[in-house]
Amino acid sequence: MTLATVSAVEAKKTQSGKAYWRVQLDGVGWASTWDVAVAKLCEARKGQELDIETEKTGDQGQFTNIKTAKLPPATGAGAPSSRDALIVREVALKAAVERFAGVQASDADVVSTASAYVAWLLGEAEPPEPFDPDSIPA
């Protein structure tokens, strides 16, 4: 992971119409992502540092893709204690279970949602998308 400041974000489309985003990162250059969550985080944090993981692709490594992006970890007085982090995980799991109450969902869905809540509560990501129970197959 590398700390890089987001300078610009451009929405693009492939020739076949698939959406992707190009992100200008100070110290890295232009990088691309297919991940809408990464693009939204980069857009929301323009001018700020993000913890970015990239990979080189292409026959000669000429392309840079963003694998992950998140807020830099909290340090010093703002960093949660292990007890606080445990409480955040417990609250996030409870909220994820309540979110899926009355809806048939897999354990993986609940755990994934809880993980998204933890990242949001610890300031490492943007808030999760609003829940649409109709999007889950019956």
Do 38 and 80 sit in the same domain of this protein? no
28 token code pair? 């890295």
Residues 32 and 55 in one domain: yes
For residue 36, the enclosing domain spans: 2-70
Same domain, 15 and 60: yes
C-alpha 48/C-alpha 19 separation (Å) is 24
Q: What is the maximum span of the chain, computed from C-alpha positions, in angstroms?
A: 51
Q: Residue 107: enclosing H or E segment and its boundaries?
A: helix 107-121
Domain end residue (candidates: 70, 88, 109): 70
66 and 12 within one domain: yes
Q: State the total domains in the chain.
A: 2
Q: Is the separation of the CB atoms in 92 and 121 below 8 Å? A: yes
**What pTM did the predictor assign?**
0.54
Q: Residue 131's pLDDT is what?
A: 65
**pLDDT tens digits for range 28-59:** 899 999 998 899 889 988 998 888 999 998 88
Question: In this structure, are 51 and 82 located in the same domain?
Answer: no
Query: Tell me, what DSSP letter sits at residue 133?
Result: G
| Residue that finishes a domain, picked among 70, 91, 124 | 70
